[in-house]
Structure 1
Amino acid sequence: MSRPPCAAPVYLPEYVAREFGFYEDEGLDFSRSAPDDWTRVLTDLDTGEATAALGGLWVPAMYHGRGRELIAFAQLNGVNPKGLVTREPSAGFGLKDLEGKVVLAPGAGGTAPYVHTAGLMRRAGVDMSQVRWIRDLSGAMLTEMFLNGAGDALVTDAVNGAFLQRAGTAHIAFRHDEAGGAMPNSVYYTSREVLDRDDKVVWRFCRALQRAYDWLKEHEAAQLTDLLKREWPQLDTEFLITVVDGLRASGLWDDIRVDEQGFAEWMLILAEDGLIDEPMPYAALVDPRPAAEAAAVGS
């Protein structure tokens, strides 16, 4: 598995599946890599270094008909675990409050933080000509800049936002995962050749992942204390448990099947921003069979 780096535990089901031996039960020797330059995942797929990649659905969408045919087969995040933070509490905050403001949106690891936020803003009736952006830099850099006075709002992941609010250095004004609707934010994608392999490696991976989803639905995050402490030692574990339970409740890990309505809405937003020429049909980018079979077994 190759995937872009992620600073927050929004990929927790992968860790749960490893922790409880779900991969081993499917005969999988699972490992992951997170290259600093996320585009390395495409090379890893080409060379066979990786069986699948985890990333934004915008990658298969943008490449479709343009040199690479990448097929998504499951989602890890069914909503976008991002949020907007401001320096001061914003009671009754609405996205139109961003008019006349400067918004910092990281983009070094992908385009979704800006593009999805902008799409939600357009749907809320924001006059986008009245919003200025600082974009395409790393999340760490923009967070540091924001905490030292740059801009008026910062797009950040939900975990980072929770810790910033706890520290009193920022306040959560908007949560994409709570107010933005279904959105296949992180999906697994691979080549058609891998999907058609006789060893059914993708199907077996989905079954292991589904078991992790089922486990997270049935157990509170406190039962993962040792795992959370081991994987994210730099974060306060007790508070992280509370944050993870909030992510569980938000629907982040509800379903490994790529949501068709969320897919369609995301395609519209990508087309509006010019990343693709027009919205694409679900069947062009998604093979639903592995996740559907796993979900049926899990139920």
Structure 2
Amino acid sequence: MTDNKLQPFHLTATGYNINYLPEYIALRHGFFREQGVDVTVTIPKPWDRVLDHLAEGSADMALGGIWVPSMYRERVKNYTVFAQIANRCPLALLRRRQREPFKLSDVAGKTVLMKSGGGASVGLFFKMLLRENKIDERSVDYIQDLDGVMLGDLFQGGMGDYFVTDNLSALAMTAANPDVVIGMEMVSQSDVPWSVYYRETDSITPEFLDAKKRFCVALQKGIDWVLEHDAESFRDELAELFPNVPVEVAVGVTNGFRRDGMWTSTTVPRGGYERWQQGLAGARLVNSPLPYESIIHKTLPAEA
């Protein structure tokens, strides 16, 4: 298909993360163009300007946490979720090196640093994980209103007992600092629709649905490609995509995510969705869990 027949399709994203890798691969390998859509991406600062981009019509979909359309629903504005890219939580819990093996219950009575510059997801997931494991979240002291880089420096300097950050940063930190180790990689902690694509419900048109369908076909091809290729085989691409991280770390994180179910399908899984809704309700972001059908757009057969 020639470029003059491509349909512009603009995304506004809350960040640039390795858990979005299949989208980046789909862009680099021309999978979107094969489906007739010319995908471009903006990453605004602050991140919540993605909602402004949707409101003004400058973006076709936003990419970010499903907790945003959940808490806005029937309060401010309704959004519909059309696809997911990240099927697991991409965080890790760092601790100081010690002989004893880590147990999640060890955090009770301790101080946990958690980055929050990209939104509430870090604290939402970690506190949900504590509740799921019958650990009183109120038994932990949290420092979470600071930038992730600042908190990382402070943790390595002696502040707090644990640090929750993204998996890529965590592994880069442990590679550079022998006194810090990973206690838990949360990608192992079951399904949750961590990162999804959504749009204002009132702005959905047949033309958008057609373009969205083709977008999802290409995104699924990107997911499949990543799952079919050991990260060692495309380490040069990873080095280009994440130049500020040692390539060995990027390869290790990618293969870990491939193994542990970070990427599966563009379809939002009902089980993971319902689990996350329980977590959002436990954090009081929603009054009660939202039914799946109230926010998730039905997947068409051609997209499955």
The TM tier, using the shorter chain, reads: over 0.9
Alignment pair present for 1:59 and 2:68: yes
Shift of 1:196: 3.1
Partner in structure 2 of residue 130 of structure 1: 139
Q: Could you list the per-position Cα deviations for residues 154-182 of structure 1 after superposition, in whole angstroms to 9, with x for gaps in the alignment? A: 1111111112222224211012110x211
Q: Could you list the per-position Cα deviations for residues 90-138 of structure 1 after superposition, in whole angstroms to 9, with x for gaps in the alignment? A: 6431211001100011112111100110011111121333210011222
Alignment pair present for 1:143 and 2:152: yes
Q: Could you list the per-position Cα deviations for residues 167-206 of structure 1 after superposition, in whole angstroms to 9, with x for gaps in the alignment? A: 224211012110x211001111112355433251111110
Partner in structure 2 of residue 105 of structure 1: 114
Q: 1:123 to 1:60 in 2, by over 3 A?
A: same
Residues 216-227 of structure 1: pairs in structure 2 closer than 5 A: 216-227=226-237
Q: Are 1:90 and 1:173, in contact at CA under 8 Å, matched by a contact in 2?
A: no
Partner in structure 2 of residue 19 of structure 1: 28
Residues 167-206 of structure 1: pairs in structure 2 closer than 5 A: 167=176, 168-178=178-188, 180-193=189-202, 195-198=204-207, 200-206=210-216
Partner in structure 1 of residue 254 of structure 2: 244
Partner in structure 1 of residue 126 of structure 2: 117
Alignment pair present for 1:282 and 2:282: no
Shift of 1:35: 1.1
Aligned residue pair count: 292
SS at match of 2:19: coil
SS at match of 1:68: coil
Q: Are 2:64 and 2:196, in contact at CA under 8 Å, matched by a contact in 1?
A: yes
Q: 1:105 to 1:266 in 2, by over 3 A?
A: same
Unmatched 5+ stretches in structure 1: none
Alignment pair present for 1:44 and 2:53: yes
SS at match of 1:10: helix
Q: Percent of aligned positions with the same letter in both sequences?
A: 33
Partner in structure 1 of residue 105 of structure 2: 96
SS at match of 2:18: coil
CA distance in 2, matches of 1:186, 1:97: 29
Q: What letter matches 1:153 in structure 2?
A: Y
Partner in structure 1 of residue 12 of structure 2: 2
Tell me how large the CA RMSD over aligned residues is.
Answer: 1.5
Give the TM-score normalised by structure 2.
0.92
Alignment pair present for 1:232 and 2:249: no
Q: Are 2:91 and 2:186, in contact at CA under 8 Å, matched by a contact in 1?
A: yes
Partner in structure 2 of residue 253 of structure 1: 263
Partner in structure 1 of residue 174 of structure 2: 165
Alignment pair present for 1:272 and 2:282: yes
CA distance in 2, matches of 1:217, 1:254: 8
Q: Are 1:161 and 1:170, in contact at CA under 8 Å, matched by a contact in 2?
A: no
Q: What letter matches 2:175 in structure 1?
A: R
Q: What letter matches 1:230 in structure 2?
A: E
Q: Could you list the per-position Cα deviations for residues 263-288 of structure 1 after superposition, in whole angstroms to 9, with x for gaps in the alignment? A: 11111111111111111100111103
Shift of 1:248: 0.9
Q: Are 2:171 and 2:249, in contact at CA under 8 Å, matched by a contact in 1?
A: no
CA distance in 2, matches of 1:195, 1:227: 35
CA distance in 2, matches of 1:89, 1:166: 16
Partner in structure 2 of residue 72 of structure 1: 81
Q: Are 1:53 and 1:188, in contact at CA under 8 Å, matched by a contact in 2?
A: yes
Unmatched 5+ stretches in structure 2: 1-10
| Most deviating of 129-138 and 256-265 | 129-138
Q: Are 2:83 and 2:266, in contact at CA under 8 Å, matched by a contact in 1?
A: yes
Q: Are 1:258 and 1:288, in contact at CA under 8 Å, matched by a contact in 2?
A: no
| Most deviating of 140-149 and 273-282 | 140-149
Q: 1:237 to 1:61 in 2, by over 3 A?
A: same
